[in-house]
Amino acid sequence: MSDTRTNSADALARLAAVVESRLPANGGDPDKSYVARLLHKGPDAFLKKIGEEATEVVMAAKDADHGGDRGKILYEVADLWFHSMIALAHYGLTPADVIAELERREGTSGIEEKALRKALAREGGEQ
């Protein structure tokens, strides 16, 4: 693993640890933490934020296509990842789990992977 990749994984792991510390089960205080407040409100709150942030990524990219600041895409993707990490923590998952899934898919055609998922879904529906 390259130094950059290791540092990135470490940064995600550190942020994930902070997010996990804000879970209600870990004593996260909604009066003192934005993350704890979203987690306390439940999935509807943080899932709504993920939808908003995803839309903002799209808008920033569209703006960049027309001469806007590409840096805004980074800002909005960071917000999207952050809010996605809140969802991961809520569901007992981590950024490392996402990285493992991406690594599992490495070298697999996206078209083939999608076809496999559809085939598995069909098999699951027939039982």
If one counts every other C-beta atom within 10 angstroms of the C-beta of residue 125, the result is 7
DSSP labels, 32-85? T-HHHHHHHH-HHHHHHHHHHHHHHHHHHHHHHHTT--THHHHHHHHHHHHHHH
What was the pLDDT predicted at 8? Answer: 79
What was the pLDDT predicted at 5? Answer: 62
- For 99, the token pair is 């990285």
**pLDDT tens track, the chain, 127 positions:** 456 666 777 999 999 999 999 999 999 999 999 999 999 999 999 999 999 999 999 999 999 999 999 999 999 999 999 999 999 999 999 999 999 999 988 888 878 878 888 888 888 876 5
What was the pLDDT predicted at 3? Answer: 60
> Can you give the pTM of this predicted structure?
0.81
What was the pLDDT predicted at 127? Answer: 53
What was the pLDDT predicted at 74? Answer: 98
What was the pLDDT predicted at 1? Answer: 47
3-state secondary structure of 16: helix
For 86-106, b/e burial (b = at least 16 CB within 10 A) is bbbbbeeebbeeeeeeeeeee
What was the pLDDT predicted at 103? Answer: 92
